[in-house]
Structure 1
């Protein structure tokens, strides 16, 4: 029996939602160095909010979730939460 499944290449899947969807994630400053390599050292253990594009590229970092959501709205992105 045939199905109507669409199969994406890895490159197509990586760009799925690009420019349309972003995800919001709460992070500890301890984990930021590998995601935001250009950041200066920060006090360990602080909770911050980050906005990432659908492809995982960092967009905005803030200590307030409202700022992250405003950044998404400015870029006309629909947001989803990542735990």
Structure 2
């Protein structure tokens, strides 16, 4: 994931994964909805799931997986319990 910033000459500057991780300082996380096919890419030890299976992942600012749940509310609660600030990703 790259975040862009406007610069004076109308070009875009992107943050590297390392810079993004430092930006959050281990305190910023985001939620991502996943289907069953996407789960194994972030959670290699997860069992095989059907494509239609819907889950929620909590990821650190650099995209490192923190948790996986079938409940959006559980992901939010885990972030709050661990004093993580939730960022909105579009």
Aligned to 1:26: 33
Aligned length: 78
Extract unaligned runs of 5+ from structure 2. Answer: 1-7
Q: What do you get for the CA RMSD once the two structures are aligned?
A: 2.3
Extract unaligned runs of 5+ from structure 1. Answer: none
Aligned to 1:69: 76
Q: Stretches of 4+ moved more than 4 A in 1? A: none
Structure 1 residue 78: Cα displacement: 0.8
State yes or no: 1:37 paired with 2:44: yes
**1-structure distance, mates of 2:20, 2:32:** 21
**1-structure distance, mates of 2:78, 2:69:** 10
Q: What TM-score do you get using the length of structure 2 for normalisation?
A: 0.73
